[in-house]
Structures are given as structure tokens and as C-alpha cells.
Structure 1
């Protein structure tokens, strides 16, 4: 029996009219209590590729996650030659401690949580840790064959670089959307993102390291600076003699931890394989800042509870609103049943105060307000969101995930977004479709989508330390006309609070 409350999020599934199955705790449901149960019921429509599922309650997703693969419909095929093999590769993050204790200690102190002790590939840390390298994951390949690797970043708090020694990666998909293929030596994934790559067995039969390590964009912030490995092994490679030292794999070269240029080059190269229906006329034009902050120590609080810099507590916000989760009913239940007092609909569509977002920000702006604020969208409205990073406390790359929707990333850049000049950079022809966008460190990203899925949908940073500090907001998309545009009734076994 489970020890903790839990919910499960089916990351990237559109959940058309089935928001009750989306999973984030106190957004679409109350948690499943120990000893309780809940059946998630949903239909996958017009989606294909690599997604994943994970717990969406506290830090349980550190260990509760897995791949979710949607194959082509019967009678159809991939937009590339069918690979000989397919292998999910889940990049994880591991603490030599109970992750729930780690986040609870951070909440108590107001400081940053302890960094992880290892990264993992399919649950194993690999050859460079003092843990057992005998269990290092081995991925098979044969000479001349082409295989599909479905790479998923399930880490809690870290963007990751990923590479394979001496092998080119042909990128063909991301977040369950196909892409215009291109070749690269390294890919970068933020937590929540998936990337499909083809590899060909075109090297000498041997063993080659598959490796991942941190991309850390926040200057001076502590991070897990270790490297996890698996082994790409040719079936015709020489096997180590019984009892002998294993044949050492060929080493992999990874970028430096702060190589923002490599990360940016990768994310800006992604393109849809053909012209896509990007909304060109916009009904809702939002400008949302995202970043960290510091709360003053509450009056009367002990110093042990204010261990962020200068005796403060870490916080995070969107448009200077630090999101507070309800505790007695979910936002979707409150919306569906008309329960007052759970949330307010005054989330600001633009910052209440304009400032130099990526410059030297006045300390008076470092402390956000706290609230459970949502933004309402009419069904069918065409939405553009400029997500602007800030340098409050520190600038950082944030993986921004939206529930219930895919969206087109039409542009990204560094510095402050300038609507007079940066709109000329918009790609309205073949931008990539994602469910999690990498907001560049000290920069901005522009996304577009059509609000055609009624319900309550959280948009948040997928660095779990940041969502626990309030880097989130919620869209409530109203019902349209007729049954096909209306949220389904809640299931009978929906957990109660």
C-alpha cells in the first residue's frame, strides 16, 4: 500500500474533454489517499510518438514515472524508414535519501533543496559512480542497422545534455510530434521533454558510452555535476573473458555544463516537417514573466526557516504572482460545480509593472504576491503567450510545460522581448509543436495555440523545486457549444479531499 498521497499525470496527453484524468494534485483532482484508488479514463486522439507518465504530487515523480509510447495506427508507418529496434531511454535523478524528505526540508528552511547524488539511465547510474557498474544499462545495436531511441528527461530539477560516443543522432521527433530530420552530436532536454533520435550502426563493432550530464544555466547555483552512462553495444563486439575486466567503452564527449550556445542551437533547429496551422490572428495576447524571487522572512519566524540569501525564503512567480495550490478541493471541481472562494480570475495578462526584466532588477520587485489566480479563456480563442524570463535573483533556463495542450513555439531569443522588432523573427510556417518549451536563460519564448479543450490547465516550470516555490499559473478554458466542446462530467470514483 502506498505511503503518500499520489496522483498520476499523463504528460503530453491532450485529455480532450477529460481533464479529470490529467492528474495534477488540487488542479484537476484531489489526491488518491493511501489505501484508495482511482481509474484514469481517457482516449488518445491524433497523437503519435514518445510521451511519459509521472506522479504529480510533491516529489514522488523522482521515482514514480515511465515511458508512454503511442505507435502509428495500424496500416500506417513512421515518416522515416522503420527502425530495426526501438529503445526507450529514461533519464532520471537520484538522491541518497527519501526525495520527500529532501523537499520537506527545503520547505522548512526556505532554502534550495539539496542537489541530487546521481543521474540515471533507465534506473541505473552507470560507470562513473561508486555504485555498481555491473548493472550499467546495455543498449544493443548491430552493424548497418538503424535504431530508434526514445529519450525522455524524467529528472526532477535539471536540464540535461545527451550524446553517444562516435555516433550521430538524427532527430526525428519531440514531445510526440514529428520533426524535420536533422543530424547532431548532442541533444538537450529539459525535464518533461522527449526527443526521438535515429542512430545507425556505422562504427567499428565495439562498446560506446551513452552519456548524459547537466546543462546548468543559473550562474553560481549548486547542481549535480556528475555524468550518467549506459553502453551502446554492437552484437558483434568482442565480449570480455569470464572473470576479466570488462572491455572499456569508447568515451563520449559532452558540452560544458554552462554551454548555452549548444543548448540554443539545438532548440532553435527544431522544425515541423511541413507547413502547420499556426494561428495567425490572435484573440488573447498575453505577456507572462517567469522567474525566481526572495520572500522576506515572516515576522516572528526563526532564522532556521529563512535560509535563502540574506535571511529570506526562496519563491518563484509568473507576472509577480506566486501560485498557491488549493488544499480542500481542486480548481477543476470548483470550476465545474461553481464553488466560490477557491480561486480568483484576476491573473494579470501582462506584468503589473514593466521593468528591465533581464537587467538589474530593483529589490522592491523581488518579493511577489501569493494567490490562487487563474486566467479565463473562451472556447476557441486563439492565444499567443510571450513568456519572458527574468534576472530576479538569477536568470535560468526554465522548461515551461502546459497541460491539456500542445503549442507552437514561433520564436525565442535573449534579453527583453521587443514587440516592435522581435515579431519579425516569428516562424509562422513550420515551427515545432511541443508541450514543454525551453525558456532561454535571460530570454524569452513565444508560443501559440487554440483554446479548444475545456477545463482547468496548469502551466508551470517543470523544475520541481520551482513549481513548489510557485512558478505556475492556471488557465480555465470555458465550454463551447454542444457536447463535443463541453467538459465531461466527473467520474464517480474521483477522489475526495
Structure 2
């Protein structure tokens, strides 16, 4: 009886939220069957890949703003997993956020679970992906939210066609083993870059070129590219020979349109850009190139792929002879050039349709993002007892010198809902600032064993920060050069935030607060903290529940660059988290070989 009552309450809340979004809202229903199929890539036709409905990328979910979404997930794979609806705010509905051991237990093999959520108040390109181990490399797809007909329309001319572009990677290693390897602090490289699941003809497989994804265009028409970086490893530069982009949105938030010949997109980010087919009729390449930090950072082989943009026309015989099979390729930046990314992200400003930036800040956090060292077995190294005396060390990724550890027995959200977070394991409060203030961007710290080795000491804990409902929080993220100098795409679940400013070098409040854009900052769910730089964000905790904040690089995520934000209920029913659905997965004994993401 209790389960039936719980189910009725959850369904009632779901449909109450749907009613709030408008009388013309629809319910969009999908069934996702997760299974393993053999795919032919990189000279191999027998690579076993975990996908949804046999597709890579998986099926796109297309809705109108205000609609409700129902996805029945049927797990026919041999692994427990969850699906995260990346960027969906999940108002009063944290149970559907899909983060294993944070908002739910994994859906075990042979089991089903139905996700129900609403997309009111959001328009643009979001996406969905697995949130266990490294499965988002192949379990992902688009979530497209269009304006409601007769209420609003695009704040730009209606495009002739909309085209999702998923930048990803092809791996020839079992993704469970990959995550275990990454979790042990060991790098592993993908075969190469994919675009919409294809390696493209830059990848030469024993003399046979891989297939390209092809975009056919008509002279004078516009195309809306819905671009998502689903990769585990790299930020990418995207260019089309002979064409320019007009960026109109990012992370399902409109921006003031601006024109550029290059897009920089980090893992987790989505960018909407319009392309006008105004070049001479012919064939052009769109190229995606992964960037990386220069030495002494560890180098990986260059990653790139390309799409063929082909004008749909009938050339004369003379024109055909002149054009032949030639395809124009764009001139790409150097793979070590990260300043182009800094300026691309810095050029974004928000539309005035958003709520004003809150001026009063209740809580300030300064979070250093670094790599650290953990002794095998979880011991913290010290000068008197280094890891060499404790079976060696492994790398860990940290926020204020703490590496996140997932609970193993109960999800944090369930513990939060029942007022029993202490049962979720050893919890540790995320401090306001790192334990030691130092020169965060001194590149000498990249070399392990330097005099700054004490900064590498790392605590492992389930890190949580609790906020009252409706608290205004400002976070300054500081990338560091402790053992590396990566940028860091930081993704916050359940909330959008204002990106107030970014900078290179060390953050200095006396100097940098004056640079904050409090008039028209972009609104995002993922912020790229620049290499050897910083970024400042501000948001309001207006969504009760347990929300994950983490780096979207797979390597950093697997080794602990994460924290949980616990947001209390408000004072009314409309500000209170609903009960869990009756079919919420129950935690079972986990396979120790799976490092849950």
C-alpha cells in the first residue's frame, strides 16, 4: 500500500508540473533499450559497443518547451547504468536527474526504470548520456527543445534545416575497463575523434578510408547546427572551410548572436550556431580538432575528424571538370593553441530575456581544481610516510584538495530525503577555500616531485556542501598547474548559472571583481575554466535536492573532481522535493570492477 501511495503522489506531482507549463503541453514518450551491438569501425567489424536502440548517437528526443518527457529505460546490457538528462533543471524532480549513487542506484541488467520530467522554461539544445563509468562515450543523444508555437519563436530567422552534430571519440577498449584504468590514475587514449558516430576519412584504415558524415546544403539557405561535445577527453575546435558561424545559443540559453569562423566546445557543452550556405557551390570540409596543453603536460596523439559539406546542385560539364573531386579544407589552429578557446568563451553575452543577476551574495566559495596523489589503499601521504612505503601512489583529481568518493550502499538523494545523510558513508564538508594558498599557475608544479609536492596531498571523501533554499552562491573556480595545466569544464546539475567573468593566471578579488559582467552575462550549465586561469559564476539554490557538480573530462571525473550540493526544501509545497517514484532502483551489490561515474 505504501508503494502504491508513493507512486500516486509521484505521478500526481509529475502531472501537476506538466499542467503548470501550459495547457497545450504534450507528453513525449520514448522507450530506450540499452544493449550491446557489434559495430564496424577502425578496421574492425566486431567491436562490441553499448548503445541505445542500436544507434550511435542514440535517438534524439524532440520536444516543445513546456512538454513532459517519459522515457522507459530497458537495460539489456550486462552492466548497471543510469541516464542523465544533461542541462534539464528537473525542478522539484531531482529523482529523475540520473546520477548513479547520487540521485539513484544504477538500473541493474534485466531491469527497467521510467524517467519522467518536464522541460518548462528551457529552449535550445541539451543532451542525454549515461552516468556510470565511461559509458557516455557511446550512450548519448540529443534533447532538442523548440519554442512553443504561437507563444514564442526563435529570436533569429527560422533556419531551413536543423542538424545535430555530436563530437565524440571511438574507443577500442571495454568502457568498464577504461573507467577502472582511468580511476587508477592511468591515461588511456581513444582511437580517434568521431562526428555523429563516424570516424571520417581522416582516419585511414589500412588503405581504406572511413565513411564521412555528409551535410547537403542549398545555396542561400541557413542551417542551424546543434553542436554537442560528448567526448571524454578533449575540447574541440570546429571550422568549416569558406563559411562562418553565427552563435545564437549555448547550453539551451540564447546569447546575443555573434559571428565567428571558429567554435570552441568543451566536453559537456552544447552550442547552437547558424551557417549560411553562401560559398560558391562545391564541397567543403567541416573539421573538428582536439586541443591540448603543450609540454611538459603529457601529450596524446592529435585527435580530429571531419564532415563533408556538399552543395546540392547540378554543375555543367565544364564546372564538373573544373571542380573535379577537390574539397576545400579549413585552416585549423595549432592543437596547442588554447587562447582561441579563451576568446571564444569570453565573447559570449546573454540575451536580456533572463532574470537579472542577483547582486547580494550569501555564500562565496573559492575552489581550486588540481591533480593530487593518493597512496594505494586510500592513505594520505606525508613526509614521514610517503606512498613509496605504502605500496605506491595513484593520481586523484581534487576540489580544494579533496577527491570525491561515491557512497556504496545508498544514494545520497535517498539519504537526504529521509534525513539520514550520515548513512550514506563518510561525508566531508567542502571547505570555502583550499587548505593552502599558493601560486596556483606556476608551471613548475607540473613536474611530479617538485618542491610543491606537499600541495599534492589529497583527502578521499564523499564531499558535500549544504545550502538553504534560495541562497545566492558565488563560486570562483581556479585551474591549477599541480601535476597538469588542463582547462576544466565544470558542469552543475539542476541549475543554470551566470558566468560573470574569466581570466588567465591567478584570481585576485581586488582586481577581478571589477571585471564582472552583471548586465548581460551568459547563462550556462557548464563553464570552461581556462587552462592556468579562473572563472566566476553565480546562481541561486532554488531547486531542492542533491545536485552533482563535476568536471566533464572523463579522466578528471573518474579520479574524483566532483562535489555534491545539498539544497534544503523551501517553506511551501511548491518549493519542496516530491517523494521518490515507486520504481526507483534499489541498490544492489556492485561489481567491484566498475568505477561509478
TM value normalised by structure 2: 0.78
Q: Which sections of structure 2, spanning at least 5 residues, go unmatched? A: 1-75, 318-322, 380-386, 446-451, 588-597
For residues 358-408 of structure 1, give each alpha carbon's deviation from its aligned partner in whole angstroms, at most 9, with x where no partner exists: 225521110210101200011001110011111111111011000001101
The match for 1:160 among 225, 236, 240 is 236
Q: For residues 352 and 111 of structure 1, do their structure 2 counterparts lie closer, same or farther at Cα, with a shift above 3 Å needed?
A: closer
Are the counterparts in 2 of residues 102 and 113 from structure 1 also a CA contact under 8 Å?
Answer: no
**Is 2:133 the counterpart of 1:58?**
yes
Number of the residue aligned with 1:354: 437
Structure 1 residues 8-157: aligned runs within 5 Å: 8-75=83-150, 76-107=152-183, 110-131=184-205, 133=209, 135-157=211-233
- Partners of 1:367 and 1:430 lie apart in 2 by 40
CA apart distance, 1:239: 11
1:297–1:372 distance in 2 versus 1, CA, 3 Å = closer
| Cα drift, residue 221 of structure 1 | 1.7
User: Deviation digits for residues 170-215 of structure 1, max 9, x if unmatched?
Assistant: 1111000111111111111110101111111111111110110111
Separation in structure 2 between the aligned mates of residue 413 and residue 165 of structure 1, nearest angstrom = 30
Partners of 1:479 and 1:298 lie apart in 2 by 37
Displacement of 1:237: 5.9
Query: Are the counterparts in 2 of residues 218 and 395 from structure 1 also a CA contact under 8 Å?
Result: no
Tell me: CA distance 1:239–1:331, structure 2 relative to 1, closer, same or farther (3 Å). Answer: farther
Q: Which residue of 2 aligns with 1:196?
A: 272
Find the structure with the greater CA-based Rg: 2
Partner of 2:539: 449
- Asked if the contact 2:199–2:210 (Cα under 8 Å) also holds between the matched residues in 1, the reply is no
Deviations 1:228-274 (A, max 9, x none): 0111111116599xxxx982421122111111211111010001122
Count of residue pairs brought into register by the alignment: 485
Q: Does 1:261 align with 2:342?
A: no
Tell me the distance in 2 between the aligned counterparts of 1:289 and 1:251.
40
What are the equivalent positions in structure 2 for 1:207-218 lying under 5 Å apart? 207-217=283-293
Unaligned runs of 5+ in 1: 301-305
Aligned counterpart in structure 2 of residue 338 of structure 1, from 400, 415, 419 = 419
Q: CA deviation at 1:224?
A: 4.0
Q: After TM superposition, give the deviation of residue 103 of structure 1 in Å.
A: 2.3
* Structure 1: distance between partners of 2:88 and 2:367: 24
**Which of residues 247, 251, 267 in structure 1 aligns to 2:325?**
247
Match of 1:228 in 2: 305
2: CA distance between counterparts of 1:14 and 1:99?
Answer: 28
Partner residue in 1 for 2:457? 367
Partner of 2:552: 462
Whole-angstrom distance in 2 between the partners of 1:279 and 1:297: 44
CA distance in 2, matches of 1:286, 1:249: 50
Please give the residue correspondences for 1:272-421 in structure 2 after superposition, counting only pairs within 5 Å: 272-274=350-352, 276=354, 277-297=356-376, 312-339=393-420, 340-342=422-424, 343-344=426-427, 346-359=429-442, 360=444, 362-421=452-511
Deviations 1:279-331 (A, max 9, x none): 1110011111112122245599xxxxx99xx9531111101110000111111
Considering only aligned residues, what root-mean-square deviation do their CA atoms show, in Å?
2.2
Partner in structure 1 of residue 7 of structure 2? none
Farther off after superposition, 134-143 or 427-436: 134-143
In 2, Cα distance between equivalents of 1:271 and 1:389: 22
- Structure 1 CA distance, aligned partners of 2:326 and 2:462? 54
Moved more, 91-100 or 455-464: 91-100
**Partner secondary structure for residue 380 of structure 1:** coil
4+ runs deviating over 6 angstroms:
none
Tell me by how many angstroms 1:345 deviates.
5.3
User: Please, which moves more after superposition, 218-227 or 416-425?
Assistant: 218-227
Q: SS of the counterpart of 2:164?
A: strand
Aligned to 1:303: none
TM-score (norm 1): 0.94
Higher relative contact order (CA 8 A, sep 6+): 1
